[in-house]
Amino acid sequence: MTDGDENGGEIQRASDVGSADAPSIEEKPYKIIFEANKCFGAGKCAEVSDNWEMSLASGIAKPNTYFIDEADLDHNVRAAEVCPAKKDEGCIHVIDRRTDEEIAPDPHGDGTLSVDW
Ligand code: SF4
């Protein structure tokens, strides 16, 4: 850990999150941002997507991978849409890395990141 607060505590763009060890955008054009602290273990994500599992240890969900391609896009979008956390806005976010836009659940309807930092 060096300076963990270089954004002044504000992270505003999806591309600011989780880029260490990331595969190339060409290879995996989408990524997941998971607000684990908002997950209450409802388990709906795991019902609709193979990428999501419930951790017995923590009682909350966990993605197998954070970087996905077209083949795995639809079920992760479904997971983001069915997640009831945050009063139904959801705590799973699917981001298009090429445009830096949130494609699901996108509660604002404009592609902005709906993460509560
Ligand atoms: S659906 Fe949402 S709240 Fe429920 S376990 Fe999955 S991530 Fe957590």
Select from 83, 86, 88 the residue to mutate for testing ligand 1; criterion: most ligand atoms less than 8 Å from CB.
83
Reported as a single tens digit per residue, the pLDDT across 71-91 is 999 999 999 999 999 999 999
Question: Which region, left, alpha or beta, applies to residue 59 given φ > 0 means left and ψ of -120 to 50 means alpha?
Answer: left
Lining residues, ligand 1, CB within 6 Å: 39-45, 52, 60-61, 83, 85, 91-92
CA-nearest residue for atom 4, ligand 1, is 42
Instruction: Provide the terminal-to-terminal Cα distance of the chain, rounded to the nearest Å.
Output: 19
Q: Give the pLDDT band of residue 13 (cuts 50, 70, 90).
A: confident
**Fold assignment, 28-104:** Alpha-Beta Plaits (3.30.70)
Pocket probe mutation, ligand 1, options 37, 40, 49, 86, max atoms within 8 Å of Cβ: 40
98: left (phi over 0), alpha (psi -120 to 50) or beta: alpha
Instruction: Write down the residue that tokens 């830096």 correspond to.
Output: 100
Per-residue pLDDT of 14-55, as tens digits, reads 777 776 778 999 999 999 999 999 999 999 999 999 999 999
Q: Whose CA is nearest to atom 2 of ligand 1?
A: 83
